[in-house]
Amino acid sequence: MKSIKIIPVMLIIALMAVAKGFSQAKITVKGSDTMVILAQKWAELYMKNNPSAMIQVTGGGSGVGITSLINGTTDICNSSRPMKQTELEKLKERYNTLGVQIPCAKDGITIFLNEANKVEEVTIKQLSDIYTGKIRNWKEVGGNDAGIRLYGRENSSGTYTYFHDEVVKADYVTSVQSLPGTAAVVNAVKKDVNGIGYGGAAYAVGVKQAKVKKDSDSKAFLPTAESIGKGEYPITRFLYMYLRSRPAGEMKKYIDWILSPEGQMVAVEAGYFPFK
């Protein structure tokens, strides 16, 4: 008669834990600091409702996320700007694919002013002149007689690139203080009565938002769901997720949920705007 082997209870528990760990679908997300608040909220809610999923979110900037996608160290790259042709070519060279671009939300690049600043609105041209150093005093745009202090993002940021390409359209003046993240820009403007900064609308807490208009003859708008939905706010952009290939399995389920009405409502609640 064969003897029955008794497996210790602790070993059974350990094996169950290992099995559970292997059954989890891990998804890494990296990139845009503008999108970090939103990406974390998406991940938290999805994991709460899907215990088999494990989603890790980190920032670092759109450029960092795109580099990580090319290097194979992230599954999803969050980017607040479209990938450049040179980046797409690197992706193709390594993986023989141009990747997959998924618009997942919209954002209004917000102009942050100190709450004591009496300026209410600016044109795109005035913003360009401010960030190229042509306008140096607040009185030139209806404010007090005081020098303008400039804050902006580091050059690995998609927000930096978008603001440069779509608003400034020239070299930034050297006096712009580059800061690592939109939260840092907001904090700097909070403390500086003569400061100005730019960044994602979701970060506009404790600062004044300047209305923006296309030109002197246009109506000025704040970045709201209505103005962005109607295409009225002039500094509106898509926020993207980039993948190396078409999603499958848990990743497809996750992205489908992000693009669903429920996922888009999370974006609205976090201070962003639906992609449609």
Domains of the chain: 25-106+239-269 (3.40.190.10), 110-234 (3.40.190.10)
Q: Give me the pLDDT at residue 9, please.
A: 41
Q: What is the pLDDT of residues 71-85, one digit of tens each?
A: 999 999 999 999 999
What tokens appear for 189 in the block?
């403007």
Neighbour-count burial of 226, counting CB atoms closer than 10 A to its CB (0-12 exposed, 13-18 middle, 19+ buried): exposed
- 3-state SS assignment for residue 206: coil
Closest CA relative to residue 233, chosen from 244, 216, 218? 218
Residue 226's φ and ψ, nearest 5 degrees, are -70, -50
Q: What is the pLDDT of residue 2?
A: 46
Separation CA 263–CA 62 (nearest Å): 21
Q: How far apart are CA 6 and CA 20, in angstroms?
A: 22
Distance CA 108, CA 105 (A): 10
Look up the pTM and report it.
0.85
Query: Among 157, 159, 155, 176, which Cα is nearest to 167's?
Result: 159
27: CB partners within 8 A, 6+ apart: 53, 54, 55, 56, 75, 76, 250, 251, 254
Q: What is the spatial order of strands in the sheet that 121-123 belongs to?
A: 121-123, 208-213, 110-113, 195-199, 149-153, 177-179
pLDDT at 145: 98
Are 185 and 198 within 8 A, CB to CB? yes
Give the pLDDT confidence score for residue 25 in this predicted structure: 79
CB 233 within 8 A of CB 108: yes
* pLDDT for position 24: 66
Residue 272 and residue 276: Cα distance in Å, rounded?
A: 12
pLDDT for position 17: 40
| Exposure b/e, 55-94, CB count within 10 A at least 16 = b | bebbbbbbbbbbbbbbeeebbbbbbbbbbeeebbebbeee
DSSP state of 154: -
- Whether the Cβ atoms of residue 103 and residue 79 lie closer than 8 Å to each other: no
**Residue type at 43?**
A
Low-confidence ranges of the chain (pLDDT < 70): 1-24
